[in-house]
């Protein structure tokens, strides 16, 4: 163990993983529009971290080959073989460090404290909950949520706020249900929207297709929690809010492409697609043809 003073979370960036690795992240959502979670991906040679302490929850996922890893907390050592999908819920306010014996490919998910607090208030009626630190365990849902966020960030960059909000919310609810120090029963929501609330949300989405929408602002329209809003929306129309948003953007794009004088790039931008590749992929997926083929048909 190093004699250096343990690293603490940077108060100016309280939801980021401290700079504990020599290698910079290979991918990060820090400078994007993601509002509820920060994803950082690393490819690390064999080594160890300095001793550090966290003031927010971090979930780490091994997404590469098998690695033998150790975690040291207050002179106590835990050892585990990390296969692909093996997880860590890092402890809060405890000085600890890690070491590993071979190349480590890892996704780190830093939960913003406000998301956890609001979710706990909305679902449990408590403004303070504590997650159980865990080292070297499997949870397929967390693994898949992490991979989905990573894939979205790789392909879409910053143009995926509503999707990242939805995944972060699902992760938080799962953690509250399964990894708290006290067992809570989160309520299930089995109803859809009343017609006036559905029309309010649909109109709002269609009026704002050109910009990034957040789950928080959509849920606020209906005075529901983000968790209940997502469930009610899908139960009412059969799609998630993000899926519906993409569908409506493509429908708007079809209308604009039929007008003369607009380039494919201009149409993509007008419909909220930051990248033409993003526009091309979703347009072809939903219509069966590329925007260029549709334009020339």
What is the tens place of the pLDDT at every residue in 79-101? Answer: 999 999 999 999 989 999 999 99
Residue 181 exposure: Cα atoms within 13 Å on the Cβ side:
7
pLDDT of residue 185: 63
Task: Give just the sign of the alpha carbon dihedral 163, 164, 165, 171.
Answer: positive
pLDDT exceeds cutoff 90 at 5: no
pLDDT exceeds cutoff 80 at 4: no
Q: Which tokens is 100 given? A: 């590993």
pLDDT of residue 186: 58
pLDDT of residue 12: 43
Candidates 2.30.30.90, 1.10.10.60, 2.120.10.30, 1.10.730.10; CATH matching 195-243: 1.10.10.60
Q: Which tokens is 90 given? A: 């890092």
Q: Looking at the domain that runs over 7-178, which CATH code has it been given?
A: 2.60.120.10
pLDDT of residue 152: 87
Give span(s): CATH 1.10.10.60, the chain: 195-243, 247-296
At residue 6, φ and ψ (nearest 5 deg) are -60, 140
pLDDT of residue 140: 97
pLDDT of residue 159: 53
For the ranges 112-116, 152-156, 291-295, the one whose mean pLDDT is highest = 291-295
pLDDT exceeds cutoff 80 at 290: yes
Read off the pLDDT of each residue in 121-141 and give the average, rounded to a whole number: 88
Q: What percent of the chain has pLDDT over 90?
A: 58
Read off the pLDDT of each residue in 129-158 and give the average, rounded to a whole number: 89
Q: Looking at the domain that runs over 247-296, which CATH code has it been given?
A: 1.10.10.60
- Lowest-confidence region among 62-66, 139-143, 178-182, 291-295: 178-182
DSSP string computed for 61-98: EE-SS-EEEEEEETTEEEEEEE-TTEEEEPPSS--EEE
Alpha helices in the chain (DSSP H): 113-124, 140-156, 161-178, 195-207, 215-222, 226-237, 241-257, 264-270, 276-287, 291-296
pLDDT exceeds cutoff 50 at 1: no
At residue 276, φ and ψ (nearest 5 deg) are -65, -35
Q: Which residues pair with 109 in a beta bridge?
A: 39, 59
CB proximity list for 64: less than 8 A, separation 6 or greater: 43, 84, 103, 104, 105, 106
What is the tens place of the pLDDT at every residue in 232-261? Answer: 999 999 999 999 999 999 999 999 998 877
Strands 52-53 and 7-8, sheet pairing: parallel
pLDDT of residue 194: 85
Q: Which residues of 242-280 are buried (b: 16+ CB within 10 A; e: fewer)?
A: bbbbbebbbebbbebbeeeebebeebbbebbbbbbebbb
Cβ pair 271, 265 in contact under 8 A = no
pLDDT exceeds cutoff 70 at 190: no
pLDDT exceeds cutoff 70 at 204: yes
Read off the pLDDT of each residue in 205-211 and give the average, rounded to a whole number: 93
pLDDT exceeds cutoff 50 at 24: yes
Give span(s): CATH 2.60.120.10, the chain: 7-178
């Amino acid at each position: 163990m190093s004699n250096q003073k343990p690293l603490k979370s940077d108060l100016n960036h309280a939801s980021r993983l401290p700079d504990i690795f020599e290698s910079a992240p290979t991918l990060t959502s820090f400078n994007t529009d993601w509002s509820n979670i920060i994803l950082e991906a690393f490819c690390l040679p064999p080594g160890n971290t300095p001793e550090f302490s966290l003031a927010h929850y971090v979930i780490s996922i091994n997404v590469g080959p098998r690695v033998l890893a150790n975690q040291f907390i207050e002179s106590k050592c835990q050892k585990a073989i990390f296969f692909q999908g093996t997880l860590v819920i890092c402890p809060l306010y405890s000085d600890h460090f890690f070491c590993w014996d071979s190349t480590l490919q890892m996704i780190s998910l830093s939960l913003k404290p406000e998301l956890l607090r609001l979710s706990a208030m909305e679902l449990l009626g408590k403004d303070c909950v504590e997650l159980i630190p865990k080292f070297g365990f499997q949870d397929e849902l967390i693994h898949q949520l992490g991979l989905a966020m990573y894939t979205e960030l790789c392909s879409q960059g910053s143009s995926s706020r509503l999707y990242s909000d939805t995944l972060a919310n699902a992760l938080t609810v799962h953690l509250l249900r399964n990894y708290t120090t006290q067992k809570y029963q989160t309520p299930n929501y089995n109803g859809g929207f009343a017609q006036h609330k559905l029309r309010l949300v649909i109109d709002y989405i269609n009026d704002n297709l050109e910009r990034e929408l957040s789950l928080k602002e959509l849920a606020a329209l209906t005075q529901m929690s983000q968790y209940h809003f997502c469930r009610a929306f899908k139960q009412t129309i059969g799609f998630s809010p993000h899926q519906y948003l993409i569908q409506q953007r493509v429908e708007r794009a079809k209308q604009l492409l039929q007008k003369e004088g607009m380039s494919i790039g201009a149409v993509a931008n007008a419909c909220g697609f930051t990248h033409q590749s993003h526009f091309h992929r979703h347009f072809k997926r939903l219509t069966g043809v590329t925007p260029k083929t549709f334009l020339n048909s």
